[in-house]
Structure 1
Amino acid sequence: MGRPLAVWLTLAVLVALMAWPHQGVAAERVYIDITQPNFVRLPIAVPDLQEADSSTQGLGTLLASVVANDLDLSGLFRVLDPKGFLGPEAAPGVTAAEIRFDRWRRGGAEFLVRGRCARSSTGLRTEFRLYDVVAQRLVVGKIYEGRREDARIMAHRFANEILAALTGEAGMFDTQIAFVQAKDGSKEIFLMDIDGENLKRVTGDGSTALSPAWSPDGRQLAYVSYFEGTPRLYAVDLFSGTRRTLCAYAGLNISPAWRPDGEALAVTLSKDGNPDIYLVDRNGRVLQRLAASWAIDVSPSWSPDGTRLAYVSAETGNPQIYVLDVATGKKERLTYHGKYNTAPSWSPKGDWIAYSGMDKGRNNIYIIRPDGSEIRQLTHGEGDNEAPTWSPDGRMIAFSSTRQGGRSAVWVMLYNGEGVKRLTRLPGEQTLPDWSPRIRR
């Protein structure tokens, strides 16, 4: 399997070396209230970082483009066209004393990212600063050191800092998305950054691997594989590459979903005849049966507090989504709109459940309140849209879609259905995305 998720290993050497003056004061102000319905994207300029010499040639452009793409992806910023930075306002200058804020303001910028990069003993040293153009003040600044190949990670890190400083909420730009890559008759699990870059292969069995599911600490990935003939559940440690068998009971072993505490998983097993949802510990030992009916019960998704479980059952004749109270065993049908609703995904804030529902012969993404109220349709027949998964801040949804060219790819959008962007552009098809949590370090 090589070195899966090596990106997380390198993060340990990226050290923020400097806390800039007045940073604490600036952090007290929340510039963006993302809860306001009339929110307007903030205009921000992200010109190329300065390069110390020929050894860093091209990195200034790369670093700026990663930050700009992250900010655009967030839906909170209007990144200004870099072609407008070719005048005097783009002259060298990183400190506040060197910057002509009035010129940036006339160019439409309310915020400005400046920085520089240079060769260091570890490979690369990058310096980033975010300025409030209107107030002519520094908001946040960081220096990172690490390997040259970690340049993208440094940029993602600073985009996180920008989001935290301006919204009061941590960013998620250094998270990853697992997905299934179908090509040449096999299906393997891959990982990528949230901008579609830094592709890593997790499985390589030449068989069928499905349903990747991140553990809450981001260290393990549970998944289904047929490489030993029958569908079994496995877990791979993404730091060491070690794979172990989770469940290999007779019949089906599918649909893994880690409980939020990381100590157990909800899975679908047919060991007792009917495919029902069971609770198993980290080693696959059955603790209890959670959901059972005469029909197939699959696709569990935990509420953030671990007290409830959304899942799919066809007990009324067609697949519908139900919510189970784990303590009492009481279940309630959640979806009544449409005859075919699948793939529930509970938002990290607990306020929505995303799912895929069939409408006029097409699968679309919907969100619904956990009490069954306030259904919102996010996609509208642009191909088939399936398998929604939430970003750890609850503001974005990744999903698979056939909207371009008829082949499934992984896309992302804001939770209101806006800002749809394609992430994967690979041969074959990419399906079943699962967004990682924020990694605890």
Structure 2
Amino acid sequence: MSSKKISGIKCLLFSICFLSVTTGCQTNEKVTSQPFSIIYGFKEGDNKSIYLSDEQGKKRIKIIDVPNNAGGYPAVSPTGKQIAFYGKYDKRKTWSIHTADIDGTNMRRLTNLKNAWDYGPAFSSDGKTIVFGREYTDKNGDMQEGIWLMNSDGTEQHQIKGLEGGAPEYMPDGRLLFHSKGRFSKTAAAQISIANIDGSNVIQLTNDDTDNFNPKISPDGTQIAYLSNRDGNQEVYVMNVDGSNQTRLTRNRIRDGDPAWSPDGSKVFFTSQNVFGIYDIYKVDKDGSSTERVLINASQTATVYHVDKHYLERLAHARQQ
């Protein structure tokens, strides 16, 4: 291994240890090809930023501050070189999708429709397209929910016709996982569904009179984590990809949110509000056992499968300056 590469890894280790929010950093831990498991939003005072963290919450590193200190819900591209997230403008009335390099450089605003809420971007498996949700109030004062698609550079933005709902993401087979319109309706409830990328062949997986939403597909494509309030409180559930074996994972008195799988598919990360009104990130085994808090004052979790090591070393070096 060259001395230049060793120097870069040492720089990364130093930066991670320095930025850790927990007590200390174990110097005998080896740096693997995947030092981070999740990406999330972190709020400190009036400042809102996006961070990477390992599964234990012991190592974390800041990527970027979001525009106007409002926004988040980040995602990492399959190449590990880019992130996508949303920021807020016009006194938080306009939400826009952005991309940036994983080292925090080259931030670009991709959508800018005034008074629309664009959120929850997700990359395709080849990283060439981004799917996202868009919400807006129509001229009658009713909330509309649509699913939109664009190239990862922001070109060719278009709504996927026939799909009303939100929180879309790609499945391993190229189809879309999303929740149907209903979260803002007095007469219908949101349900978890799957559809082709062109909006055809919609398959509904849940069917009850309560909201089921924000679905996330497991790394192997066999299970779905999602949120539901069917038991009187917003909790995290999992089910098989065909809708069978719907199982409740969390049992809290306050609302849980933001489910995300661990990269190996054995656990589900989620956000829960504590008694001080602050959101923390937890993880739970996918059978509902062994719940553990990972990070404090953090939310909007998403899974990280790969981070480009070259960009990561640049990021660590920049944080030392």
Q: TM-score, normalised by structure 1?
A: 0.57
The C-alpha deviation readout for 1:325-354, integer Å capped at 9, x for no partner, is: 225612122112450111110111000010
Equivalent residue, structure 2, for 1:56: none
Q: How many residues align?
A: 285
Deviates more, 1:269-278 or 1:192-201: 269-278
CA distance 1:156–1:175, shift in 2 (3 Å): farther
**Which whole-Å CA distance do the structure 2 matches of 1:13 and 1:397 have between them?**
34
Counterpart contact for 1:190–1:203, Cα < 8 Å = no
The C-alpha deviation readout for 1:255-301, integer Å capped at 9, x for no partner, is: 211111111011123689643112110122235432545xx621002
Matched, 1:275 2:139: no
Counterpart contact for 1:392–1:438, Cα < 8 Å = no
Matched, 1:300 2:171: no
Which structure carries more helix by proportion?
A: 1
Equivalent residue, structure 1, for 2:83: 221
CA distance 1:155–1:400, shift in 2 (3 Å): farther
Counterpart contact for 1:192–1:198, Cα < 8 Å = yes
| CA shift for structure 1 position 363 | 1.2
Counterpart contact for 1:181–1:188, Cα < 8 Å = yes
Equivalent residue, structure 2, for 1:418: 289
**Which whole-Å CA distance do the structure 1 matches of 2:298 and 2:137 have between them?**
33
Which structure carries more strand by proportion?
A: 2
**Which whole-Å CA distance do the structure 1 matches of 2:136 and 2:5 have between them?**
46
Aligned runs of 1:205-244 on 2, under 5 Å? 205-227=67-89, 229=91, 230-239=94-103, 241-244=105-108
Counterpart contact for 2:64–2:104, Cα < 8 Å = no
Matched, 1:13 2:11: no
2:85 partner SS = strand
Counterpart contact for 2:97–2:109, Cα < 8 Å = yes
- Contiguous gaps of at least 5 residues in structure 2: 18-24, 139-143, 310-321
Matched, 1:263 2:124: no
Q: TM-score, normalised by structure 2?
A: 0.77
Counterpart contact for 1:291–1:324, Cα < 8 Å = no
Rg (Cα) greater in structure: 1
Matched, 1:246 2:110: yes
1:286 partner SS = coil
Equivalent residue, structure 2, for 1:194: 55
Q: State, as a whole percentage, how many aligned pairs show the same letter.
A: 22
Give the CA RMSD over aligned residues: 3.1
Equivalent residue, structure 2, for 1:178: 39
Equivalent residue, structure 2, for 1:313: 181
Larger relative contact order (CA 8 Å, sep ≥ 6):
2
1:202 partner SS = strand
Counterpart contact for 2:73–2:120, Cα < 8 Å = yes
| CA shift for structure 1 position 307 | 2.7
**Which whole-Å CA distance do the structure 1 matches of 2:249 and 2:281 have between them?**
15
**Which whole-Å CA distance do the structure 2 matches of 1:381 and 1:270 have between them?**
29
Aligned runs of 1:12-161 on 2, under 5 Å? 13-14=5-6, 122=7, 146-147=10-11, 149=14, 157=30
| CA shift for structure 1 position 318 | 1.8
Q: Alignment partner for residue 349 of structure 1, among 201, 206, 220?
A: 220
1:247 partner SS = coil
Matched, 1:431 2:299: yes
**Which whole-Å CA distance do the structure 2 matches of 1:372 and 1:352 have between them?**
9
**Which whole-Å CA distance do the structure 1 matches of 2:26 and 2:198 have between them?**
41
